Amino acid sequence: MNGADKLCDVLLVNGVDVCFANPGTSEMHFVAALDRKPEMRCVLGLFEGVVTGAADGYARMADKPAATLLHLGPGLANGLANLHNARRADTPVLNVVGDHATYHLAYDAPLTSDIESLAQPMSKWVGRAQTAGDVRRVTEEAYVASVSRRGVSTMILPADAAWGEVEQEDLTRAAVPVAEPAVAGQLHAAAVALKSGKRVAMILAGKALRSDALEVAGKIAAATGASLFSQQSDRHERGAGSVAIKGVPYPVGMAVAALAEFEVAICLGKPAPVAFFAYPDMPSSLLPADCEAIELGSASTDLLETLKLLCSEVGAGSATPVTNPFVQNEIAEPEGDLTPDTIGQALARRLPENAIVCDEAITSGGGFGKFAAGVHVHDHLSLTGGAIGIGVPLSVGAAIACPDRKTILLQADGSGMYTLQGLWTQARENLDVVTIVYSNRSYAILQGEMRNVGVNQFGKNARAMLDLDRPELDWCLMARGMGVEAGRATTIEEFVRLLDSALANKGPFLIEAMI
């Protein structure tokens, strides 16, 4: 066997059985090894940003990493934006990046680059297998780091390490350190604050937004009077019957207002929330200046156990959480124009049980968000790092992780153009994804940001950079060209008919909603 075979075997024994790939010449020995491993599902992406975004979506739903296969430094660089999103989502991803044979690097061939420097900013672990004999150790280190640190690991595989011969050996699963709850001092400080009578906000992120953890957080809130908030995270299990929680708004003014009354903020899973951007005369921190922030664990902390310990310390075990009532059947059929609000209302009325909602709607997703608390329980996957172009790849990964669940993608048209190649992967893998494109033919989020900095009148140059026209995008043509059936809606009645058909059938379907 060779180093590439050993790499495959180590991945498989550790449960990594999906590989999102866009390989090149240096990775051919790994491709050949994958071909000898039918247990490994190999999924081709036509652009590396699709590969890395799909790996993120997969891990969010499967709760384990997928592998990616990327071609040298430029291939990794093409995937960095969605690795940034994965880093901000604390998602485990295991990158395998091919490199030239070790002896060839000295010749500075055209594709030679500093892969370590490219990988470092988006990775929590970076390593290189210098020889075939290193492959097992380096692969195990990459896997353990990805899972235990909740992040991206990047393993560099030189071609001669892939083709070099190694001995056959029995493999066992690598030992992953057990996640620990927050330290006692943090727990005590949080408990004291909750029992102090002060106005306390508990701001949850990461695995604290899973249903079991939310149940415990809801008991704490019910017993102490604390308010529950969520930060943008990898995955939020929400809907009717789940614990009521408010999201920290994206617009900085609204966020500051929402948190203005609190004297203490207990933050689980992420640090205290901050504004996405700086604005003149607006704060960077979203908390009041005199608000005490208590960070109760990180993404790698056992957040469920942390909440259980905190619940016990404040005596909230018998409290009854406030939950969201089921109101989906009471949502009226939308009437009037085709708008983000009527689209959201139509979807909320029809959302299937146990759906996965991937959300890169940017400015248009609030129409569905208004109803999300009262519809069937579903998972919500959001844009965590702000690097647009994750929506289509995220839906690919989520649908592969959960083939028996309906995946619904809320997609802005401008950001969708970054990685629309992922539609081809939806078609090739016959994934059960309904993509709703909000076609407003503009970078509407940037138009809003221009207004936020005080520019309300857009001239020729500004419009040229913010409008998606001349020519207008035709999403139906693009989708069909990649093998995805599609339909265009110009009225809410047309949208409802298309949505009903898409939800009733399996396989990928795209609705271009002309808002």
pLDDT (tens digit, 9 = 90+) per residue, 259-293? Answer: 999 999 999 999 999 999 998 889 999 999 999 99
Q: Answer yes or no: do 142 and 105 share one domain.
A: yes
Q: Is residue 155 part of a domain?
A: yes
pLDDT at 444: 74
Region 465-481: what's the mean pLDDT? Answer: 90
Per the DSSP assignment, residues forming a β-bridge with 230 are 204, 247
Mean pLDDT score across all residues of the chain: 96
| Contact status, residue 179 vs residue 302, Cβ threshold 8 Å | yes
pLDDT at 187: 97
With cut-offs at 50, 70 and 90, classify the pLDDT of residue 448.
Answer: confident
pLDDT at 348: 98
What torsion, rounded to 10 degrees, do the Cα atoms 465, 469, 474, 479 define? Answer: 0
pLDDT at 326: 98
Q: What is the pLDDT of residues 208-267, one digit of tens each?
A: 999 999 999 999 999 999 999 999 999 999 999 999 999 999 999 999 999 999 999 999
Provide the b/e sequence for 134-170 (b: ≥16 CB within 10 Å).
bbbebbbbbbbbbbbbbbbbbbbbbbbbbbbebeeee
With cut-offs at 50, 70 and 90, classify the pLDDT of residue 470.
Answer: confident
Full domain range(s) for residue 305: 184-313
Q: Of 99, 130, 163, which residue is a domain's last?
A: 163
Q: Answer yes or no: do 296 and 423 share one domain.
A: no
Q: Is residue 509 part of a domain?
A: yes
Q: What is the pLDDT of residues 151-196, one digit of tens each?
A: 999 999 999 999 999 999 999 999 999 999 999 999 999 999 999 9
Q: Is residue 249 part of a domain?
A: yes
Tokens representing 85 are 């999103």
The CATH number of whichever domain residue 343 belongs to comes to 3.40.50.970
Q: Answer yes or no: do 342 and 393 share one domain.
A: yes
- The C-alpha atoms of residue 339 and residue 307 are separated, in whole angstroms, by 40
Our count of domains for the chain comes to 3
Q: Answer yes or no: do 262 and 234 share one domain.
A: yes
Neighbours of 249 (CB within 10 A): 16
Q: Answer yes or no: do 340 and 294 share one domain.
A: no
What torsion, rounded to 10 degrees, do the Cα atoms 305, 306, 312, 318 define? Answer: -70
pLDDT at 465: 83
pLDDT at 131: 98
Q: Answer yes or no: do 286 and 340 share one domain.
A: no
3-state secondary structure 220-250: HHHHHCCEEEECCCCCEEECCCCECCEECCC
Higher pLDDT, 450 or 286: 286
Q: Answer yes or no: do 298 and 333 share one domain.
A: no
With cut-offs at 50, 70 and 90, classify the pLDDT of residue 462.
Answer: confident
Q: Is residue 26 part of a domain?
A: yes
Q: Of 282, 313, 344, which residue is a domain's last?
A: 313
What is the percent of the chain where pLDDT is above 70? 99
With cut-offs at 50, 70 and 90, classify the pLDDT of residue 454.
Answer: confident
Q: Answer yes or no: do 284 and 154 share one domain.
A: no
Q: Is residue 30 part of a domain?
A: yes
Q: Answer yes or no: do 253 and 386 share one domain.
A: no
- The model's pTM is 0.95
Q: Answer yes or no: do 135 and 59 share one domain.
A: yes
Q: Answer yes or no: do 352 and 264 share one domain.
A: no
The CATH number of whichever domain residue 238 belongs to comes to 3.40.50.1220
Q: Is residue 36 part of a domain?
A: yes
Q: Of 108, 130, 163, which residue is a domain's last?
A: 163
Q: Answer yes or no: do 279 and 350 share one domain.
A: no
With cut-offs at 50, 70 and 90, classify the pLDDT of residue 446.
Answer: confident
Q: How far is CA 89 from the centre of its chain?
A: 6
pLDDT exceeds cutoff 80 at 134: yes
pLDDT exceeds cutoff 80 at 324: yes
With cut-offs at 50, 70 and 90, classify the pLDDT of residue 342.
Answer: very high
Pairing of strands 236-238, 433-438: unpaired
Q: Is residue 321 part of a domain?
A: no
pLDDT at 447: 75
Q: Is residue 131 part of a domain?
A: yes
Question: Edge-to-edge, what's the strand order for the sheet holding 292-295?
Answer: 246-247, 227-230, 200-204, 264-268, 292-295
Q: What is the pLDDT of residues 4-15, one digit of tens each?
A: 999 999 999 999
Which stretch of DSSP H or E encloses residue 496? Answer: helix 492-504
